[in-house]
Amino acid sequence: MSAIKDSKDVLRQGAVRTIERRAFLKQGLSLGALTLLTGCDVTDQDSVQTALNAISRWNDRVQATLFSNRLVPTYPESAAVKDFRSNQYYGEDAVPKIEGSSFKLGLSGLIDNRKPWTLPELYALPQTSQVTRHVCVEGWSMIGKWTGVPFRTFLERIGADLSAKYVGFECADGYYSSIDMASALHPQTLLTFKISDETLAPKYGYPLKLRVPTKLGFKNPKWITAMYVTNRFSGGFWEDRGYNWFSGI
């Protein structure tokens, strides 16, 4: 375990969650106060991390109470950007090219019917459209129009345990994320097939993108290949690198 010499060292070390760390520094909490508050020795990197992770889980629960039932604003169709920005953790030239005809969405965990779903089967589900704002943590936002099946409808159809805590996603590019069940059941959460009335282009996540307009962009997985329902907390690609897990907007 490495010693922490000063607050700068605290900042430099490891994957302590940025948001909470900043909040502490902004509010002028000294390391001594942090020790008092968390009851852990701040020269012990692991116990600092454990304490801050616990605070982040508490933050997730507060956000769940604040955001879960709220509807985000919707906009007229004319406000939807046609040439939407594409974003992923690597260059656009490397996005997955998924073969639709052989595609199957894998299901696992607390689901009654874990039969994989083909695209024609998914497309046959009732669909709806939404015009909402996508907000990326990197500092840009855009209004877009997405079309797909309300995620709640799909969860009900597969016999998911709706009292479970989390729904997790795995993507063709190695990306992964998970959301709380209340957000999964939120009426504006859609499993989408289209953007701007057109089948998702590869750069937008063909064939499936989960649209969660109540959360930041990184909680909207593209190129979903598998999903699972669970009571065990599982993070996400950016979440495990320090972004707050709930990330409500």
Of 72 and 136, the one with the shorter C-beta distance to Mo ion is 136
Cα(223)–Cα(199) distance, rounded to whole angstroms? Answer: 13
Q: Whole-number minimum distance, CB 63 to ligand MTE, in Å?
A: 18
Cα(2)–Cα(45) distance, rounded to whole angstroms? Answer: 7
Which residues within the stretch 201-220 sit at the binding site for Mo ion (CB under 5 A)? 217-218
Of 204 and 245, the one with the shorter C-beta distance to ligand MTE is 204
158, 218 in Cβ contact below 8 A?
no
Binder among 109, 150, 168, 217 for ligand MTE (CB under 6 A): 217
Which residues within the stretch 139-198 sit at the binding site for ligand MTE (CB under 6 A)? 171, 173, 175
Question: Cis link prior to 150 (omega < 30° from 0)?
Answer: no
Helix (H, G, I), strand (E, B) or coil at 183: helix
Determine, following the binding rule CB under 6 A, whether residue 222 of this chain makes contact with ligand MTE: yes
Q: Whole-number minimum distance, CB 245 to Mo ion, in Å?
A: 15
Contacts with ligand MTE, 49-88, as mask; x by CB under 6 A = -----------------------------------xxxxx
Which residues within the stretch 103-162 sit at the binding site for Mo ion (CB under 5 A)? 136
First to last CA, the chain: 36
Helix (H, G, I), strand (E, B) or coil at 211: strand
Cα(93)–Cα(132) distance, rounded to whole angstroms? Answer: 27
Of 193 and 204, the one with the shorter C-beta distance to ligand MTE is 204
Q: State which amino acid sits at residue 204.
A: Y
Cα(137)–Cα(160) distance, rounded to whole angstroms? Answer: 30
Q: Whole-number minimum distance, CB 119 to Mo ion, in Å?
A: 26
149, 191 in Cβ contact below 8 A?
yes
Footprint of ligand MTE on this chain (CB under 6 A)? 84-89, 136, 171, 173, 175, 204-205, 217-218, 220-223
Residues binding Mo ion (CB under 5 A): 136, 217-218
